[in-house]
Amino acid sequence: MPGLSSINRRRLLKGGTAAATALAFPGILRAADTVRIGFLAPLSGALAMVGQSNQNCLTLAVDEINAGGGIAGRKLEIVAEDSQMSTKTAVDKARKLYTQDNVIAVTGMVLPSEREAVLSVAAGAQGLVLYPNFDEGRCHRHLITTGHAANQSTAPVAKWLADNVGKTIAIVASDLGTYRDTLGRMFKASFERAGGQVQSIHYFPFGTRDFGPVLQQIQAARPDIVWHAIGDDPITFIKQYASFGMKPQLVTQLAHESIAAATEGAARGVICVESSFMSVDTAANKALIAEHDKRFAGFTPRRVRGHVTMLPHNERTYVAAKLLAEAVRRGGGVGFEEIRKGMADAALDAPRGALRVDGASGHMLCDTLIGRVAPDAGIDVVERLAAIAPACTGSSGAG
C-alpha cells in the first residue's frame, strides 16, 4: 500500500487482528466497553445483612452473565452504593447512579421507601428500577418487581388456609401503609371470601418489642390461625409467640431459613409464604446455592442443612440481573425503551422455578410457595400454588 508508514502498517495489522479476534470470540469482553447496573441497598445499619447478601447474589448473577458473553456483547459492571436506610441518601445515591455512573438499572433495595426514592429519580433519568422484594402491587412503567405482588401472596394463601388449616384467624402486623392499607385489608377480604372469619386485627408501631398483652388476648379468643407481618423484628415476635405457648397455627410471609435459624427452634412448625426457599428442588436453585456456598462461605456462620443461609431477597436480586440481560437480548439494546420492550413477557428458568414477566404490571407470573419450618430450621415446600395474575393495587405512573 503506497505511502503507508511501517508504524501505521503495524497499527492496521494490530487493529485487524483485534477485530478478527473479537469476531471469532464474541465472549471476550473488553473492560473499557461496559454496561453498568446500579446496586443500592442498606450496606450498614440494622438491615445491612440483607443488603450485603443481596449484593453477593447480584455478583453471582453478573459473573455468570459476563461468562456467557456479557450484556449486548459488553461486560456488565456493578456500581454499589449504601442507602444507609435513609430516604434522602437513597435519592442522592440514585441520582448519582443514573446521571454520573450512567447505570441502565438499579436493584438491591430492601425497603419500599428506598424503592420510591429510586423510582423518583429513574422516571426523569429514563432508567429502570428492579425491586427484589414482595410489594403492595406498585405498578409503574419504570419499575419491575421480582417478588410477589400483594394479591399473589394473599388471595391463594387465604383460600388454602381456610381449606386446610382453619376458619378463624387473628392478624398482627407492623403499622406500615403497605400492611395496613394493602396486605392486611387484602388478606382479610380473601379469607372471608374463602369462608373464614377474621376475629381481630392488631397493628404495632415500628420498634415494638413487647407483644405479650396482645398475644394473651389472642390466646383467649382461640383462633385457628395467627397471620403475622411484624416486619422490623420477626425473630423477637416468633420467640415470644413460642414462649407464650400459643396454640393457633402461626403463618407469615416474613420468614425464611435465616430467620428460622435465628429463632433457636421457636419457628418450628411455622407456615411460610414466599416465592422461593432454599429447599426448592430445581437444578437452577441447587446450582445457585452451591456457588453461593463456594464464594461466600465466610459471609455468615449461619448454616441450614449444611448450606450458607440465603434469603428470598437474594434469589430475587439474582433474578433481577438475569431478567435484565434477557430483556436487553430480546429488546435489542440497552436503552430504556429497548429494555422495557424486551422485558414484556420475558421468561426465565429461575431458581424458584419457571417465571414470566407480566408486561402490563411489571410483576412476575410465578407460583406461590407454602412452606413449613422443620426442626432443623430448613423450610420444606408443602404446597406450590399455581401462578395468578398480579394486580396493580398500588399507585401507578406513566413515567
In angstroms, the CA 335 to CA 128 distance is: 10
On the question of pLDDT at 184 being above 90, the answer is: no
Average per-residue pLDDT for the chain: 90
Ordered DSSP codes for 370-394: EEEE-TTS-EEEEEEEPP------S
Which of these ranges, 67-71, 282-286, 303-307, 395-399, has the smallest mean pLDDT?
395-399
The confidence score (pLDDT) of residue 175 equals: 87
Last residue of a domain, one of 253, 274, 295: 274
pLDDT tens-digit series, residues 348-359: 999 999 999 999
The confidence score (pLDDT) of residue 46 equals: 86
On the question of pLDDT at 25 being above 80, the answer is: no
On the question of pLDDT at 24 being above 80, the answer is: no
CB of 83 within 8 A of CB of 334?
no
The confidence score (pLDDT) of residue 122 equals: 98
Against a cut of 0.85, is the pTM above it?
yes
- Amino acid, res. 142: H
The confidence score (pLDDT) of residue 396 equals: 53
pLDDT tens-digit series, residues 105-152: 999 999 999 999 999 999 999 999 999 999 999 999 999 999 999 999
Question: What pLDDT band is residue 399 in, cutting at 50, 70 and 90?
Answer: very low
Question: 251 and 157: one domain?
Answer: yes
The confidence score (pLDDT) of residue 305 equals: 97
Considering the domain boundaries, does residue 385 fall inside one?
no
Question: 267 and 293: one domain?
Answer: no
| The C-alpha cell that represents 108 in the structure block | 438491591
Considering the domain boundaries, does residue 181 fall inside one?
yes
Question: 169 and 142: one domain?
Answer: no
* DSSP 8-state code for residue 74: B
More confident residue, 1 or 214: 214
Question: 268 and 292: one domain?
Answer: no
Range of the domain at 43: 34-148+282-359
Question: 160 and 269: one domain?
Answer: yes
DSSP β-ladder status, 368-373 and 379-385? antiparallel
Considering the domain boundaries, does residue 245 fall inside one?
yes
Q: Mutual orientation of helices 112-125 and 87-99 as an angle, nearest 10°?
A: 30
Q: How many other CB atoms are found less than 10 A from the CB of residue 218? A: 23
Region 236-263: what's the mean pLDDT? Answer: 95
Question: 268 and 286: one domain?
Answer: no
Which of these ranges, 100-109, 175-184, 273-282, 321-330, has the smallest mean pLDDT?
175-184
Question: 38 and 110: one domain?
Answer: yes
Considering the domain boundaries, does residue 368 fall inside one?
no
Last residue of a domain, one of 252, 274, 296: 274
Region 176-196: what's the mean pLDDT? Answer: 86
Considering the domain boundaries, does residue 19 fall inside one?
no
Region 30-53: what's the mean pLDDT? Answer: 89
Question: 127 and 172: one domain?
Answer: no
How would you classify residue 69: left for phi > 0, otherwise alpha for psi between -120 and 50, otherwise beta? left
The confidence score (pLDDT) of residue 147 equals: 96
Q: How far is CA 83 from CA 91, 208, 246, 285, in A?
A: 9, 24, 38, 29
Report the CATH number that the domain containing residue 109 is assigned in CATH.
3.40.50.2300
CB of 359 within 8 A of CB of 106?
no
Q: Mutual orientation of helices 212-221 and 234-243 as an angle, nearest 10°?
A: 50
On the question of pLDDT at 26 being above 60, the answer is: no
Considering the domain boundaries, does residue 399 fall inside one?
no
Considering the domain boundaries, does residue 3 fall inside one?
no
On the question of pLDDT at 41 being above 50, the answer is: yes
On the question of pLDDT at 23 being above 80, the answer is: no
Q: How many domains does the chain have?
A: 2
Question: 142 and 180: one domain?
Answer: no
Question: 67 and 212: one domain?
Answer: no
Question: 220 and 113: one domain?
Answer: no
Considering the domain boundaries, does residue 82 fall inside one?
yes
* DSSP 8-state code for residue 238: H
Question: 267 and 286: one domain?
Answer: no
Question: What pLDDT band is residue 394 in, cutting at 50, 70 and 90?
Answer: low
Q: What are phi and psi of 172, to 5 degrees?
A: -125, 135
